[in-house]
């Protein structure tokens, strides 16, 4: 459908120019219409194979919070939860902003990482559910999102440094405590991928929760090019990935969650997905669940009515019970 719309939009200027010339130059009408059609057909591959992938790759590498999310002003205080505004550095030095909710009855803090185009507010309902159960939470804006520092966006590669920085921050902040709280890592969509990659590079966490992850950048671009543009894998994805790598400066094949899960330390794991997720199909979550070498692991796949990453919003009570119940069991091992 998107491709049909794009082709229609591209056709409009040719129709106006060619049709207008044909009306005023009737003697050459057939030739004008013929050359108009030839030029139109010549422009299509230029747009689809040249300009389209270039500008899309540039856009994604500079992705920031979408406008509807910029308007969200909710804080933990709106739910009666005490919190602190904090700033800390990602492991590569980028400055990130967030909220820290201290733990109450449970000696654990969950690091919550949001998805592409969002902010920490995406994770707020999850943090509130955790806080009401006595857990602490660290919500933050990923690089180039919300009020965090501007930086290249990489669909999980550089965002891994954000998660590792959050771990460093909590460990440094809590090192003077008599009993340092356990750290739990949790992420949604791109945040889930960054969380998995961080988990494969660290051993300073006690449990892992991933919601709506994708398998790899390469496969995700192939899938999305067909899902949104109806373009086969050999047309749009290779050119997009070529430019994306030039804009971001890393090899996209380094972001692969199926490879990461093999390097994650054996801690309790909760995987969340939904049948209605057309963007990150639940088969990815099921494969990660199967490959995980965790002493306790659980997978929850919500129904067809739940779109990408929307389980917490559409089924808040069930999601909260699932999350808190899992952590209660996982952290008691």
Buried residues in 31-67 as b, exposed as e (16+ CB within 10 A): ebbeebeeebeeeeeeebeeebbbebbeebbebbbee
Is the CB of residue 220 less than 8 Å from the CB of residue 177?
no
Q: Where are the beta strands (DSSP E) in 77-213?
A: 84-89, 95-101, 108-113, 136-140, 182-188, 207-211
Domain annotation covers residue 240: yes
Domain annotation covers residue 66: no
Answer with the residue of higher pLDDT: 333 or 116.
Answer: 116
Asked if 103 and 50 sit in the same domain, the reply is: no
Strand partners, 96: 88
Domain count, the chain: 2
**pLDDT confidence of 233, banded at 50, 70, 90?**
confident
Look at residues 248, 270, 292 and tell me which one is the last residue of a structural domain: 248
Distance CA 132, CA 81 (A): 8
At 272 the pLDDT is 98
* CA proximity to 97, closest of 139, 56, 67, 46: 139
At 27 the pLDDT is 58
Does 34 score more than 90 pLDDT?
no
Look at residues 225, 248, 271 and tell me which one is the last residue of a structural domain: 248
Domain annotation covers residue 181: yes
Give mean pLDDT, residues 17-37: 62
Q: What is the DSSP letter of 49?
A: I
Distance CA 310, CA 277 (A): 9
**pLDDT confidence of 225, banded at 50, 70, 90?**
confident
Asked if 6 and 110 sit in the same domain, the reply is: no
Asked if 114 and 208 sit in the same domain, the reply is: yes
Asked if 229 and 122 sit in the same domain, the reply is: no
Asked if 202 and 228 sit in the same domain, the reply is: no
At 1 the pLDDT is 47
Distance CA 33, CA 265 (A): 65
- Name which of 53-62, 189-198, 306-315, 317-326 the model is least confident about: 53-62
Computed over every residue of the chain, the mean pLDDT equals 90
- For 73-115, the pLDDT digits (tens) are 999 999 999 999 999 999 999 999 999 999 999 999 999 999 9
Distance CA 69, CA 331 (A): 33
Does 227 score more than 80 pLDDT?
no
Strand partners, 86: 98
Residue 115 sits in a domain whose CATH number is 3.40.50.1820
Helix (H, G, I), strand (E, B) or coil at 120: helix
- For 112-126, the pLDDT digits (tens) are 999 999 999 999 999
Asked if 150 and 281 sit in the same domain, the reply is: yes
Asked if 100 and 181 sit in the same domain, the reply is: yes
Does 223 score more than 80 pLDDT?
yes
Domain annotation covers residue 67: no
Full residue range of the structural domain in which residue 57 is found? 1-61+217-248
Distance CA 30, CA 22 (A): 8
Asked if 48 and 136 sit in the same domain, the reply is: no
Distance CA 138, CA 124 (A): 10
Does 247 score more than 70 pLDDT?
yes
Does 7 score more than 70 pLDDT?
no
* CA proximity to 245, closest of 160, 156, 154, 150: 154
């Amino acid at each position: 459908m998107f491709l049909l719309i794009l082709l229609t939009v591209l056709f409009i200027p040719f129709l106006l120019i060619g049709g207008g010339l044909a009306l005023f130059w009737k003697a050459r009408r057939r030739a004008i219409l013929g050359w108009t059609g030839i030029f139109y057909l010549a422009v299509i591959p230029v747009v689809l194979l040249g300009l389209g992938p270039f500008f899309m790759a540039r856009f994604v590498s500079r992705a920031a919070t979408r406008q509807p999310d910029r308007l969200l002003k909710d804080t933990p205080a709106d739910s009666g939860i005490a919190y602190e505004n904090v700033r800390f550095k990602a492991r590569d030095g980028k400055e990130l902003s967030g909220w820290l909710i201290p733990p109450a009855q449970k000696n654990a803090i969950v690091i919550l990482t949001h998805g592409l185009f969002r902010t920490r507010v995406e994770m707020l309902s999850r943090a509130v559910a955790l806080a009401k159960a006595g857990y602490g939470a660290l919500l933050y804006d990923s690089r180039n999102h919300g009020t965090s520092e501007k930086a290249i966006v990489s669909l999980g590669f550089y965002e891994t440094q954000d998660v590792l920085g959050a771990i460093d921050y909590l460990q440094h902040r809590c090192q003077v405590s008599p009993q340092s709280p356990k750290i739990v890592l949790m992420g949604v969509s791109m945040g889930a991928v960054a969380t998995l990659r961080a988990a494969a590079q660290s051993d300073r966490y006690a449990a892992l929760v991933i919601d709506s992850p994708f398998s790899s950048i390469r496969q995700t671009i192939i899938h999305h090019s067909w899902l949104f543009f109806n373009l086969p894998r050999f047309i749009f994805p290779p050119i997009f990935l070529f430019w994306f790598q030039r804009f971001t400066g890393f090899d996209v094949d380094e972001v692969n969650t199926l490879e990461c899960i093999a390097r994650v330390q054996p801690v309790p794991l909760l995987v969340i997905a939904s049948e209605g997720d057309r963007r990150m199909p639940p088969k990815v979550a099921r494969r990660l669940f199967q490959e995980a070498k965790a002493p306790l692991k659980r997978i929850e796949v919500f129904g067809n009515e739940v779109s990408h990453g929307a389980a917490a919003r559409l089924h808040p009570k069930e999601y909260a019970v699932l999350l808190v119940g899992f952590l209660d069991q996982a952290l008691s091992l």
